[in-house]
Structure 1
Amino acid sequence: MADVLVLEGIRKSFNIGTSVETEVLHGIDLRVRAGEFVAIIGPSGSGKSTLLNIIGLLDRPTSGNLFITGLDVSDLSDAALTGLRGHAIGFVFQHHYLISAFTAGENVMMPMLVDRGRPSPAMERRADELLSLVGLTKWRNNKATNMSGGQQQRVAIARALAMKPALVLADEPTGNLDTASAEAVFALMRSINRDQATSFVIVTHNLSLAQRCDRIVQVVDGQIASG
């Protein structure tokens, strides 16, 4: 299967050209195949968040090459990066970042509204399809504030899938959940991965969840130690 994500020699420095210039990532090489479910683990301060920001096109590397679905993003403009990020990558964070005044359905529609400007019956059908996928059809018209933490995170996963991304990035997606809700959210992501061949890269401190992924990538001191 094709590579959804390729990183070649990725380096990232901060405060470049000053006396406190610091390199955080030291030549990262990583490939993620289509349909693969990968966990990234490592101690705090190891560079995991910086790496995820670069993979998610939220930040640019200082040097190295990054390919998303085969496209070299190195020379893309900021506008082109934003467009690619909106279509090719879905995001799930530790905090769900739902809009509290919106219903579950409206939150799922947000990426489509940002992309297309105005709601349409097709968007509503897509939102309904995704809420069904995550088991929340009955909660379609519930405000985000009237849902449990686990339900809110499932809405966030549905929202991440709205644009049919090839890759979903999840940063501590179960970190704020109780054990049962964490298990349900992980199982949901795993089933989406298997049924739809969507690639997932998750950053987690939960080793029991990481061990159930296809592969564990360990980041230590800005380098890949294993995986």
Structure 2
Amino acid sequence: MADPILELIGVRKSYNQGTPVETEVLHGIDLAMAPGEFCALIGPSGSGKSTLLNIIGLLDRPTGGKLLIGERDTAALDDAGLTALRGETIGFVFQNHHLITAFTALENVMMPILVGRGFPNGEMAQRADRLLEQVGLAAWRNAKVNNLSGGQQQRVAIARALARQPAIVLADEPTGNLDTKAAESVFELMREINRREGTSFLIVTHNLSLADRCDRTIEVVDGKILSDRKAAA
């Protein structure tokens, strides 16, 4: 494997730590992802997938073990450092798109860049325009997102996730609220971006037919990795 873009070493996560009701939900996770990988994360409800994704996405801290992003040990970072690293390296796509419905598609895609730089400029709009073109929504750049279909909204969300050129996109059930045709379209879009740009994807999904089309499938059960298999060549 090439130098990993992220690595978890013995990662554990407990809630209510130090109390009589302390509960450990992740039990020593070892996981690494190389640049350009397109991976599925599967497992039953309550298996620890969302907790694991929150830790990888720097939205929560592990209570044991190490998380390395690139070669940076995230335990050494304060909250501001984690926020900065998250913005530089990680994009997010959620089941519920979390777009700002009063804004246009273009404005939504510009938001992460604006947060990173603090002020708008023409370069931001140009990048957002290019991303909307890549996801097939150039004609809807000035449409309010609440006037778009569910599949189109997820395409805007993907463009937004790519706004700061992250090394990895974390997608949490990105097709879960879509019909079959829209789900296929969104999946193929992520796959195309992965192949064209080399962006890594880690996709949480209950759709096993989609998971089977990923390069690698990681199965989490009861807070442990049960299997980690690559697709047949």
The amino acid across from 1:179 in the alignment is T
- The residue that corresponds to 2:154 in the other structure is 153
The CA RMSD over aligned residues, in Å, is: 0.5
Give deviations 1:127-176, integer Å, cap 9, x for gaps: 00100000000000000011000000000000000000001000000000
Q: Are 1:104 and 1:140, in contact at CA under 8 Å, matched by a contact in 2?
A: yes
Query: What do the CA deviations read for 1:101-124 (whole angstroms, capped 9, x no partner)?
Result: 100000000001111111100100
TM-score (norm 1): 0.99
Flag structure 2 segments of 5+ consecutive residues without an equivalent: 229-233
Residues in 2 aligned to 1:70 and 1:158: alpha-carbon distance in whole angstroms = 27
Q: Name the amino acid aligned to 2:22.
A: E
Paired residues, number: 227
Distance 2:33 2:99 in 1: 28
**Which residue of 1 is the match for residue 216 of structure 2?**
215
Residue 187 (structure 2) pairs with residue 176 (structure 1): no
Q: How does 1:55-66 map to 2 (within 5 A)?
A: 55-66=56-67
Find out whether 1:117 has 2:100 as its counterpart. Answer: no
Q: How does 1:62-211 map to 2 (within 5 A)?
A: 62-211=63-212
The Cα of 1:72 is off from its aligned counterpart by 1.3
Q: 4+ residue stretches of structure 1 with deviation over 6 A?
A: none
Instruction: Report the identity percentage.
Output: 69
Structure 1 runs not aligned, ≥5 long: none
| 2:27 aligned partner | 26
**Residues 5-48 of structure 1 deviation map (CA, whole Å, 9 limit, x = unaligned):** 10000000000111100000000000111000010000000000
- Matched residues in 2 for 1:174 and 1:46: separation? 20
Residues 48-88 of structure 1, C-alpha deviation per residue, up to 9 Å, x if partnerless? 00000000000000011111122111110100000000110
Deviation at 1:2, TM superposition (A): 2.4
Given the alignment of the two structures, is residue 7 of structure 1 paired with residue 8 of structure 2, yes or no? Answer: yes
| Alignment partners' CA distance in 1, 2:73 and 2:130 | 32
Q: Which amino acid aligns with 1:199?
A: S
Quote the Cα distance in structure 2 between the aligned partners of 1:192 and 1:68: 21
| 88-97 or 114-123: bigger deviation | 114-123
State the 1:126 CA deviation: 0.4
Q: Within 1, Cα distance between the matches of 2:128 and 2:27?
A: 41
Any conservation in 2 of the 1:134–1:154 contact (CA below 8 Å)? yes
Aligned partners of 2:52, 2:174: CA distance in 1, in Å? Answer: 16
Letter aligned with residue 87 of structure 2 = G
Aligned partners of 2:198, 2:70: CA distance in 1, in Å?
Answer: 14
Deviates more, 1:174-183 or 1:67-76: 67-76
Tell me, yes or no, if the aligned pair for 1:69 and 1:166 is still in contact at 8 Å.
Answer: no
